């Protein structure tokens, strides 16, 4: 039997006129806003740590194959920066404050920062970090369910790119890594 759709437009109109300073967050917003903002600030910290780690690897990659791998590190670093910007924008839209503070950044981040001694270790550490991000985003997406479709869709888009990053790094490890 088809699900009945009922909507009280008068009620929605009246509600929309209240708290207009809340902008995109209406009375119909179903997720727990403080929790979502906290989770997004952890995701923001994770992206920033990934930007820093990829950039470090880009500038310090050495060896015969370094140029190709270094270029990939830079591409990933810039894509992580774009993720950080998306997340910061959504935190503001939800009425929160994006936490860019270096203070506690490594603690807020799910992924770890590693200098990486050689090319193989750099690729491995970046792959581990991507796998951590993939699992973290998966958990937040499941937590959101259908309570905040906009944040969920944004995170689904980011998750798809982290999976591409992980795929790229596996290929680099096979091609250039010594498979320690």
Q: Would you tell me which residues interact with Fe ion (CB under 5 A)?
A: 47, 80, 83
- Rounded to a whole number of angstroms, the minimum distance from the CB of residue 157 to Fe ion is 10
Angle at 39 between CA 21 and CA 96, to 5 degrees: 20
Q: Which is nearer to Fe ion, 80 or 148 (CB)?
A: 80
Token pair for residue 169?
């790094």
* Coil/strand/helix, residue 96: coil
Q: Which is nearer to Fe ion, 29 or 113 (CB)?
A: 113
Q: How far is CA 61 from CA 77, 100, 177, in A?
A: 14, 27, 13
Distance CA 83, CA 130 (A): 13
Distance CA 91, CA 131 (A): 24
Q: Which is nearer to Fe ion, 83 or 124 (CB)?
A: 83
Whether 62 and 50 have beta carbons less than 8 Å apart is answered as: no
- Rounded to a whole number of angstroms, the minimum distance from the CB of residue 41 to Fe ion is 15
Q: Which is nearer to Fe ion, 46 or 120 (CB)?
A: 46
Distance CA 110, CA 129 (A): 8
- Rounded to a whole number of angstroms, the minimum distance from the CB of residue 23 to Fe ion is 26
- Rounded to a whole number of angstroms, the minimum distance from the CB of residue 172 to Fe ion is 17
Q: Which is nearer to Fe ion, 47 or 148 (CB)?
A: 47
- Rounded to a whole number of angstroms, the minimum distance from the CB of residue 91 to Fe ion is 15
Q: Give the residue closest to Fe ion by C-beta.
A: 83
């Amino acid at each position: 039997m088809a699900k009945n759709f009922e909507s009280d437009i008068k009620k929605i109109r009246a509600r929309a006129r209240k708290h207009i300073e809340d902008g995109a967050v209406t009375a119909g917003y179903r997720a727990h806003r403080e929790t979502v903002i906290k989770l997004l600030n952890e995701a923001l910290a994770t992206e920033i740590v990934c930007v820093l780690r990829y950039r470090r690897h880009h500038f310090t990659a050495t060896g015969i194959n370094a140029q190709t791998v270094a270029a990939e590190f830079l591409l990933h670093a810039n894509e992580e920066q774009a993720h950080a910007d998306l997340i910061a924008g959504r935190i503001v839209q939800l009425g929160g404050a994006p936490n860019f503070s270096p203070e506690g950044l490594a603690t807020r981040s799910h992924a770890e920062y590693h200098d990486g001694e050689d090319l193989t270790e750099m690729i491995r550490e970046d792959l581990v970090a991507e796998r951590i991000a993939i699992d973290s985003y998966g958990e937040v997406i499941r937590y959101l369910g259908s309570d905040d479709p906009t944040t969920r869709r944004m995170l689904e888009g980011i998750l798809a790119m982290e999976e591409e990053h992980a795929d790229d790094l596996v290929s680099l490890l096979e091609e250039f890594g010594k498979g320690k």
